[in-house]
Amino acid sequence: MLATLWLISLSFPTLRAQPLISCPYKNLCQWPLLSGNDIVLKCDLPRALWYFSSILGEDLFLINSMHNIKNLPSGSLQLTNPQPSQSGLYRCQDKHSILMVEYEIDFQDVSTLHITHKALDQQTLQNETLRLGGEVLVFTQWEPWQNCNRCGVPGERKRLGYCYIEEPQEKPMPCGLYLRDEKPPHTRLRPEIQVEACLVPCGPAKELEQSYFIFDIYQLGKLTNNAWLDCPLSSVYR
């Protein structure tokens, strides 16, 4: 049985593939993501212009030189080590100010990540109601389980869960986008990650698909409750 909690992170030093976030042409998409983990926002227009307005709703400004944001030749926008304070609206336009695509991103704070392992009977975060004017429900919206990190032998896999808030009869929203500048000090308002054991056979297709990954396994300190995936070149998204 598993006696310790392992955190799995994958890295790929030379052909680093960053998760690409995309949204249909002329649409607005809302995404929760984890701070500290690189991503690329897609916009299919070379020399596209990107504008940003923080979650506090200040005026949009043109992104041309921010230390951790890069306009890629394809038109997409690369964010390296994004911070919770960089949550907000990212708008891609052409040179005539015609909207291509917009993203509302909630970078949930990776340093508050709640980490549990199924095999250790650790509890994921429970649904809670919060009083904010009216009553709202805070819950975790889980992503699908990611691939097992090994085949043929016991391995582990993980899934990410983002903090969402739901008003009665309304569509749930990522917590940061719902709360905007309100910051109620509440411990339920955080993202989580769940790990479980897995055992998958090695198929030729699977091997090919994963052959270029390098798996690094980091042991989580037993004496600390705070942990985050912050190793060079690692990503929680795969």
Ligand X SMILES: *[C@@H]1O[C@H](CO)[C@@H](O)[C@H](O)[C@H]1NC(C)=O
With CA atoms as reference, report the closest residue to 193 among 6, 2, 1, 4.
6
Instruction: Give 4's strand partners.
Output: none
How would you list the strands of the sheet with 77-79, edge to edge? Answer: 20-21, 39-41, 77-79, 69-71
For residue 90, the tally of other CB atoms under 10 A from its CB is 25
Identify which of residues 167 and 196 has a Cβ nearer to ligand X in the complex.
167
Question: HSE-up of 149 (CA within 13 Å, CB side)?
Answer: 21
CA distance 103 to 60: 13
Supply the minimum distance, in Å, between the C-beta of residue 205 and ligand X.
Answer: 33
In the bound state with ligand X, the residue whose beta carbon lies nearer, of 14 and 169, is 169
CB of 135 to ligand X, least distance (A): 13
In the complex, the smallest distance separating the C-beta of residue 184 from ligand X, rounded to whole angstroms, is 18
Work out how close the CB of 181 gets to ligand X at its nearest, in angstroms, rounded to a whole number: 24
Asked if 138 and 164 touch (Cβ cutoff 8 Å), the reply is: yes
**Residue 123: CB minimum distance to ligand X, A:** 11
Cβ nearer to ligand X, comparing 50 with 139 = 139
Comparing CB distances to ligand X, the nearer of 52 and 139 is 139
What is the C-alpha to C-alpha distance for residues 31 and 145, in angstroms, rounded to an integer?
18
Buried b (16+ CB within 10 A) or exposed e, 124-158: ebeeeebeeeeebebbbeeeeebbbbbbeeebbbb
Pick the closer one to ligand X by CB: 41 or 189.
189
Interface with ligand X (CB under 6 A): 127, 137, 139, 166
By beta-carbon proximity to ligand X, the closer residue of 58 and 128 is: 128
- Min separation Cβ 139 and ligand X, Å: 4
Of 142 and 212, the one with the shorter C-beta distance to ligand X is: 142
Q: What is the closest distance, in whole angstroms, from the C-beta atom of residue 137 to ligand X in the complex?
A: 6
Output the DSSP codes for 148-189: PS-SSS-EEEEEEEEEEEE-TTS--EEHHHHHTT-----TTS
CA angle 211, 213, 219 (to 5 degrees): 135
